[in-house]
A = this chain, B = another copy of it.
Amino acid sequence: MVTTRNSRSSLSTGRPRSGEAHQAILAATLDLLVEVGFSALTVEGVATRAGVGKATIYRRWPSKLPLVVEAFGQLPGFDAVDTGALSSDLKKMLRAYLQVFNQTALATVLPSLAGERTHNPELVHLFRPVSRKRRKPLIECFERAVERGEVSPELDVELAADLVVGPIAVALFFKGGRLDPRMVGPMVDLALRGILVSEPA
């Protein structure tokens, strides 16, 4: 470990914390999450993989859980897109997201963390900003659609967002955890058009 830059502004003197170590730890955490999953992840394993001492990890994160949350938070969320139409916005965003989704730890880590959250209030606070950041571009798609008159101003935007990403969450929960990107088209179409047969124009 060669120390380069300080990662947090130390108010007092002394050797600064290594920014490289910080990144190496987070990267090792993500690597191992993908390889072995959440419950088989050990702090010792992370330390070894990152080439740091275990104490260096516990100096920065109070326990394994916040470490995983922060590593997880580094993964990309939805990329904001604006094609001018709700349907294509959503399809483009979800396809790009699934690409990441199917290749990273999201599918394995997210459920585990979500499960623990119920019994760990501290985790709720760690989690919220990550979720918000991910969700924001999605909500903005709908807000633009409202402005364009594509959808009713009375539409519950939050609920609509839940409806569109819902099938992905279902796949994550109840199925293998992978979702074919080719399903995005029919998925979004159905959510936008509705399930019931509509009257012919």
Point out residues on A near B: beta carbons under 8 Å: 36-40, 86, 107-120, 124, 131, 135, 149-152, 155-156, 159-160, 162-177, 183, 186-187, 190-199, 201
Contacts and interface: CB of A to CB of B under 8 A. Distances in A.
A163 B191 contact: yes
Nearest to A161: B170
Nearest to A150: B196
Contact of A194 (B131, B169, B194): B194
Nearest to A155: B195
Given A183-B159, A197-B151, A173 B111 contact: yes
A162 B166 contact: yes
A198 B192 CA distance: 10
Contacts of A164: 195
A119 B40 contact: yes
A172 B114 contact: yes
Given A166-B166, A174-B135, A193 B196 contact: yes
Contacts of A150: 196-197
